[in-house]
């Protein structure tokens, strides 16, 4: 490593350590205050487990459209203004703000990772994984959502749900800072006759719409009155049942166990990994698994099955002979830091992904691949942070990624939109603090490997356009470690490459799949109620039976709104009233005789 690279590594490492210390401060200061400030009532109308996108949408609508009492129970800590800078998202991976999940050793993937385990960052903070993601808002293919509900809701109804959350709940902006790479990729897409995307889903490209407000990260949890409705640092150990009816939850808060009871229902919104974990600990799950661990079975359901994820590859696959992207040095430039905190502008507002595109590898109208264009690569920070986030082996780092130090790196990341590989999430003990075993079986289905190989070929096609060539783009010619026996860029080489460099986009779904009651694959019905038990609902990424066509945050927010309208508002005959301005507040009071 050259002296300049050593200096950069030293400088970046200092920044990583400073951020780590600050995260410790935020986490433990909130943990200490939990003992003395938070007031928890013994009973509420509704209990919401998890403050991520779904839980916060439901909580916001409960607060603004009903007179019900409720509490949001979050295992992580409150956020902090300094943590809202979009560029800092990668610093949270592997920290106290992350559940630090990882897969079991994979048979067909993650070979370049330590112990063949891919990390699965999931937010353990108020706001959940929306505090760690790329803030990208994509509606996806609405026809897929219609299929999820088995015809219960029309495409027009779901479109109106998206319009409702976009206008009343979310805060969306166009990406306001971009690198030269963004325009180059859009130019390449035009050269290759790809359309410019609007709001409708189809093949094409566009600059991102992101969940930001004045340049800072914005999450649905920002709508909540935290002091009134949210309890942080509370680990949910299990759901409490009376017969087959959910009546509350058992939590661990400040080292003490306590129960909270729900009059109308318990709503699990803890995500595609923690929600099945809580259900299994509560006796709802595969009968064979629960009996093996010694948990009394409340209901035999396929909880934890069907996990799937958007999988990609290609970090440091595209190199440049001049700077066209955002460098790690930009992140520590004091002028850029001041520009963010004073004006809400500059590189610190970058979502990490500037452009998205949807492509078909089979010349069909329905895309099966997504491109995410990122202005950085794995080697951009010289190994101080991103290398550990991805869990890359030291040998692979030194033989491949460190060789890019003398080039400039950007990323065109191909992702499989609709993988056929399926795995599971199972607990392996009765300890609520123990992480579950997560085996997504990445790339176990041959068609997934074929799609991703074709995706890499499309990346090469993009790099060979005039638009990318004009900014000095070229493909990394170094053999990936472990694939030296194959001729570079052949199908055999790419098959080896993707099995080694397997990248999750942190979009796990499907572990409590929605479906018809008579299906042996369903955990919840199309009203989000857990089958065979009463007053227990699941509303988060785990209910999605298949992956949306694109980043999942918007789909989850829409689904949470559908849940509220159909399982709370309609079920309880709530009139159409809102608690917002003075006039609406008056109508709200009239509706509920307050």
Smallest Cα–Cα separation from 460: which of 397, 368, 363, 371? 371
How far is Cα 527 from Cα 571, in angstroms, rounded to an integer? 10
C-alpha to C-alpha distances, 385 to 10, 73, 343, 380, nearest whole angstrom: 12, 31, 27, 10
How far is Cα 250 from Cα 237, in angstroms, rounded to an integer? 6
Written as six digits, the tokens of 467 are: 């638009």
Element of type H or E holding 58: helix 53-65
**Under 8 Å between Cβ of 260 and 71:** yes
Provide the 10 A C-beta neighbour count for residue 254: 13
Smallest Cα–Cα separation from 242: which of 294, 298, 302? 298
| DSSP bridge pairs for 236 | 251
**CA within 13 Å, CB half, 394:** 0
| Phi, psi dihedral angles at 363 (to 5 degrees) | 55, 40
**Was 236 annotated as part of a binding site?**
yes
DSSP code for 403: G
Largest Cα–Cα separation, the chain: 76
First to last CA, the chain: 70
Ranges assigned E (strand) in 375-499: 408-416, 423-426, 437-439, 473-475
DSSP code for 579: -
C-alpha to C-alpha distances, 105 to 117, 411, 442, 486, nearest whole angstrom: 5, 26, 10, 24
Contacts of 220 (CB under 8 A, 6+ apart): 53, 56, 57, 60, 127, 130, 169, 170, 557
Annotated binding site: 236
Annotated binding site for FAD: 236
């Amino acid at each position: 490593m050259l002296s300049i690279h050593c200096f950069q590594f030293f400088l970046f490492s200092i920044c990583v350590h400073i951020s780590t210390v600050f995260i410790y401060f935020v986490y433990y200061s909130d943990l200490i205050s939990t003992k003395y400030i938070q007031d928890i009532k013994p009973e509420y109308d509704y209990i919401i487990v998890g403050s991520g996108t779904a839980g916060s949408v439901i909580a916001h609508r409960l607060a603004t459209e009903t007179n019900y009492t409720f509490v949001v129970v979050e295992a992580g800590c409150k956020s902090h203004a300094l943590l809202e800078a979009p560029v800092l998202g990668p610093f949270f991976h592997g920290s106290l703000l992350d559940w630090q999940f990882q897969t079991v050793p994979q048979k067909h993937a993650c070979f370049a990772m330590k112990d063949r385990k891919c990390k699965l960052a999931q937010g353990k903070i108020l706001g959940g994984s929306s505090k760690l993601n790329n803030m990208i808002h994509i509606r996806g293919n609405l026809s897929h959502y219609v299929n999820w509900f088995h015809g219960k809701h029309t495409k027009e109804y779901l479109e109106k749900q998206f319009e409702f959350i976009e206008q009343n709940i979310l805060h969306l902006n166009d990406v306001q800072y971009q690198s030269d790479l963004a325009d180059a990729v859009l130019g390449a897409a035009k050269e290759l006759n790809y359309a410019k995307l609007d709001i409708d889903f189809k093949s094409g490209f566009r600059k991102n719409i992101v969940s930001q407000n004045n340049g800072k990260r914005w999450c649905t949890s920002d709508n909540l009155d935290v002091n009134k409705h949210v309890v942080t640092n509370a680990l949910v150990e299990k759901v409490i049942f009376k017969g087959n009816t959910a009546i509350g939850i058992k939590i661990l808060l400040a080292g003490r166990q306590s129960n909270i009871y729900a009059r109308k229902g318990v709503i699990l919104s803890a995500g595609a990994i923690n929600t099945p974990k809580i259900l299994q600990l509560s006796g709802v799950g595969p009968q064979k698994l629960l009996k093996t661990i010694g948990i009394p079975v409340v209901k035999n359901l396929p909880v934890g099955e069907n996990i799937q994820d958007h999988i990609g590859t290609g970090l440091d696959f595209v190199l440049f002979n001049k700077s066209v992207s955002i460098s790690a040095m930009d992140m520590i430039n004091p002028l850029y830091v001041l520009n963010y905190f004073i004006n809400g502008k500059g590189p610190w507002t970058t979502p990490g992904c500037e452009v998205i595109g949807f492509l078909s590898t089979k010349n069909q109208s329905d895309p099966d691949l997504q491109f995410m264009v990122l202005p950085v690569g794995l080697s951009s920070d010289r190994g101080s942070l991103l290398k550990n986030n991805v869990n890359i082996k030291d040998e692979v780092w030194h033989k491949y990624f460190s060789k890019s130090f003398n080039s400039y790196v950007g990323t065109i990341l191909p992702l499989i939109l609709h993988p056929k590989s399926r795995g599971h999430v199972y607990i392996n003990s009765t300890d609520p603090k123990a992480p579950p075993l997560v085996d997504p079986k990445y790339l176990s289905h041959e068609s997934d490997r074929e799609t991703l190989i074709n995706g890499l070929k499309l990346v090469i096609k993009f790099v060979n356009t005039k638009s990318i060539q004009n900014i000095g783009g070229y493909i990394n010619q170094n053999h990936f470690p472990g694939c030296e026996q194959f001729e570079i860029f052949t199908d055999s080489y790419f098959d080896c490459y993707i099995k080694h460099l397997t990248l999750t986009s942190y979009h796990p779904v499907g572990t409590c799949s929605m479906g018809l009651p008579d299906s042996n694959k369903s955990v919840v019905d199309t009203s989000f109620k857990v089958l065979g038990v009463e007053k227990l609902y699941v509303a988060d990424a785990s209910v999605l039976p298949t992956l949306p066509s694109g980043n999942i945050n918007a789909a989850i927010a829409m689904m949470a709104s559908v849940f509220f309208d159909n399982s709370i508002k309609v079920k309880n005959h709530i009139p159409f009233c809102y608690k917002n301005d003075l006039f609406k507040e008056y109508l709200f009071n009239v509706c509920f005789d307050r």
